[in-house]
């Protein structure tokens, strides 16, 4: 789940970078505009993934031991 959330956050970040630098929304271009059903689903998944990724800041991680 964590890797999926990370991948979605990266996709969202790349899309926002394209919007900021080039005024080009890749998700909208690929999936039928910002109001297209598939685009809205992708935007929702990216948003939920970002909310999930916030929880990663508050998890205690044990360092991995090497043998």
- Specify the pLDDT at position 33: 87
The reply to whether 41 falls in a domain is yes
- Specify the pLDDT at position 67: 63
CA distances from 8 to 33, 39, 63, 67 (A): 19, 13, 25, 34
The reply to whether 17 falls in a domain is yes
The reply to whether 64 falls in a domain is no
Number of domains in the chain: 1
- Average pLDDT score over the chain: 88
Q: Residue for token digits 């939920």?
A: 48
Q: Give the pLDDT mean for 38-65.
A: 86
pTM: 0.74
Q: Give the pLDDT mean for 37-44.
A: 91
- CB-based burial of residue 27 (10 Å sphere; 0-12 exposed, 13-18 middle, 19+ buried)? buried
- Specify the pLDDT at position 17: 93
The reply to whether 62 falls in a domain is no
DSSP-based three-state secondary structure for 52: helix
The reply to whether 39 falls in a domain is yes
Confidence band of 57 (pLDDT split at 50, 70, 90)? confident
Provide the residue range defining the domain that includes 11. 2-57
The reply to whether 63 falls in a domain is no
């Amino acid at each position: 789940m964590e890797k999926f959330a990370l991948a979605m956050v990266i996709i969202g970040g790349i899309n926002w970078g394209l919007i900021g630098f080039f005024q080009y929304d890749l998700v909208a271009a690929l999936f039928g505009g910002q109001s297209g059903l598939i685009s809205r689903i992708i935007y929702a998944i990216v948003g939920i993934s970002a909310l999930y990724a916030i929880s990663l800041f508050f998890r205690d991680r044990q360092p991995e031991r090497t043998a």
